[in-house]
Structure 1
């Protein structure tokens, strides 16, 4: 006996054509749980020395900044110090008057970034 494999098209078709309120609630909860698991896995991969891009963060002016993880606070809410590259340092300096002093600097150690917002890059 072979196992049946559902494709994403099968799932989308079910949702669009047959799912009732209970089914939709179940699917939404499953998606939320899966996203959290993937986020936790990605956060566990963040280590000092790795290049990262900052994603899914507030304030939004931090979104897309790039750098290298300098260190990680291993407390309950793991936070990283990310040494921004030159381009991201300038971007941050121009994005917020609070960081205006950064324009023209080569790097900056940005403290307190949740590791869940650090996406390891392939570079």
Structure 2
């Protein structure tokens, strides 16, 4: 007896966007917005759960915005209601941070600056 793979639906991202743009009613949009919010939460939780000591990460979806795009290595993970990490930034990110923030003082000569308290959900794997 042979089995065949189930047929894949003919839905694509383009067809979903087309439906939203051209045909979705307000109740449809409300349901779509709720689904997007739920999916975003699931992705943030999965990202946070995947971060471990030694992970190479790029920061995103974080405030203050001058932290977005900085890269480094996770050196500590603290689990709690919100999982937070300490990231040791690579030399290029340390240099960027040194001159982009008046709140973070990084002495000259420091090549790798560490910052604690970063939400793990803002750490994207490199």
1:62 to 67, 74, 90: 67
Structure 1 unaligned regions, length at least 5: none
Taking structure 1 as the reference length, the TM-score comes to 0.88
**By how many angstroms is 1:106 displaced?**
1.1
In the TM superposition, residue 101 of structure 1 has moved relative to its aligned partner by 3.0
The residue aligned with 2:58 is 53
TM-score, normalized by length of structure 2?
0.86
Task: Give the number of the structure whose residues are more often helix, by fraction.
Answer: 1
- C-alpha distance in structure 2 between counterparts of 1:4 and 1:55, whole Å: 33
What is the number of equivalent residue pairs in this alignment?
121
RMSD over equivalenced CA pairs, Å:
1.7
Does 2:46 align with 1:25?
A: no
Q: Which runs of 5+ in 2 are unaligned?
A: 1-5
Distance 1:68 1:49 in 2: 6
Say if 1:89 and 1:102, in contact at 8 Å, map to a contact too: no
Choose which of 75, 94, 103 in structure 2 pairs with 1:89.
94
Q: 1:1-123 alignment to 2 at 5 Å?
A: 2=7, 4-121=9-126
Is the deviation greater in 71-80 or in 3-12? 3-12
